[in-house]
Amino acid sequence: MTEYPLTVMRFPCGLQMLGLPGSNVEARFLYHEIFEDELYSRHGINVQDGDTVLDVGANIGMFSTYLLRKFPHLKLFAFEPVPPIFQAMQANLDALPLADTENVQLFPCGLSDACGSREITFYPTSPANSTLFPDEKFEEASVTVDAIRVRDVWKYDKLGFLGLLLFYPIRKKLIRDRMEKMYSNGITFEARFETISSTINEHHLDRIDLLKIDVEGSEFMVLDGIEDKHWEAIRQAVVEVSPKHVMRIDVLKQQFMDRGFRRVEVETMGHTGRVKDSQLACNVYATR
């Protein structure tokens, strides 16, 4: 197995994790979202110790780490198809002082609408943006730049904030150039994919207390991999919907309602509060 270079990242509350070199800013952003803003604990989402959680698109294990530090007896299934990212996730979760390590299973694969192999593009300095659809990522760059608020950068990148103030008149051009360079340097891997239903069958799951999906544009493919008979096993879900698919939010909400979910909320990441007008990703929260 190829060994990839990893770097130590330090966060508040004494948390230390391994990540990909050059991705510190992204990791701090994820820490802020998950640990401080508690992105996955909103709109009625509730996890208890002993629950079964599927972390689909686990990245370096930030959300899994957040959960296991609070609930060491979770039955956790974490999926990450990109080898360097999986290596970091495995190192991070193996380092946790877990009470029930046999209940934490890590899979070097992704989930989709069918089992098989597909090419996935990995961005070394922004691993969380790894995607099956690299062309869409490049197109999203300009939209993302326009939505960035300088005061929000302060929360996770103090040096970046000061730099943006110094070059405020050309801040958007600087950010856009950096993002376009990042998305131009992707590395392609051949990755294995399973489905949620194949996972349910293989591991004899009769209940999924939380299904978290963050897969950068292939979220509907992951949901298409759930057979009708398995939907009733899913108690809660949080799905990030990419900018390309925001216009399908109403369809997704109705799909959850038709499957027996009683509360479905949508939250845009663009601070606008207008989901239908948003050109950024949104999160859909569904509970029974």
Please give the Cα distance from 152 to 161 (Å, whole number).
Answer: 9
Task: Classify domain 7-120+188-287 at the CATH class level.
Answer: alpha beta
Would you state the structure tokens that stand for residue 234, as one six-digit string? 């899913």
DSSP H or E stretch at residue 221: helix 219-224
Task: Give helix 24-31 / helix 62-70 axis angle, nearest 10°.
Answer: 40
Q: Give the number of other CB atoms < 10 A from CB of residue 91.
A: 15
Containing 265, the helix (H) or strand (E) segment is strand 263-268
Q: Give the model's pLDDT for residue 158.
A: 53
List the Cα angle 58/250/59 in 5-degree steps. 5
Q: CA-CA distance, 238 to 87, in Å (whole number)?
A: 25
The residues that bridge with 77 in the sheet, in sequence order, are 54, 105
pLDDT value, residue 165: 46
186 Rama class: left (phi>0) / alpha (psi -120 to 50) / beta: beta
CB 282, CB 244: distance < 8 Å: no
Query: Per-residue confidence of the chain (288 residues) as pLDDT tens digits?
Result: 689 999 999 998 889 999 999 999 899 989 999 999 999 999 999 999 999 999 999 999 999 999 999 999 999 999 999 999 999 999 999 999 876 678 999 999 999 999 999 999 999 999 999 999 998 877 776 666 555 554 555 455 555 544 544 444 445 665 666 777 778 789 999 999 999 999 999 999 999 999 999 999 999 999 999 999 999 999 999 999 998 888 899 999 999 999 999 999 999 874 444 445 556 789 999 999
